[in-house]
Amino acid sequence: MLRVAVEDTGPGIPPEALGHIFDPYFTTKPNGVGLGLSIVHKIVEAHGGEISVDNRAADHGSRFVIRIPQKEAVPTDHREVYPAQEKPSREDGLASRISAEEGF
């Protein structure tokens, strides 16, 4: 199983929205279209995988985890696209981290 985790340090997802975040056209943003997460959900499902979200309200931010079955052998190392000490920062003060792990 290939596991990809994406997390940020934003305000998190409002609890009342959690049950709808993968619905097409659902958005909490004034200029949002509401297709991003629904498209990701469909792509992950089409590959036999699953996506879950952990809303970390106490720590701020959200963490999405995608799990997709592997069809070929891949190296068993763990790699962070942005190592913790080199997290990219954005103008709005939010940070994101993406990591990929094999074997989960």
Does domain 2-102 match CATH 1.10.357.10?
A: no
Do 97 and 82 meet the contact criterion of CB atoms below 8 Å apart? Answer: yes
Average pLDDT over residues 69-78: 68
Among 12, 7, 8, 5, smallest CA distance to 57 is for: 12
In the predicted structure, residue 71 carries a pLDDT above the cut 90: no
Asked if residue 16 lies in contact with residue 25, where contact means CB atoms within 8 angstroms, the answer is no
Percent of the chain with pLDDT over 70: 66
DSSP classification of residue 95? B
pLDDT tens profile 15-40:
899 999 999 999 988 999 999 999 99
The string of pLDDT tens digits covering residues 87-102 is: 555 555 555 565 555 5
Q: How far apart are CA 4 and CA 96, in angstroms?
A: 13
Sheet holding 50-55, edge to edge: 50-55, 62-68, 2-8, 96-102, 79-80
Q: What residue segments make up the domains of the chain, in order of their start?
A: 2-102
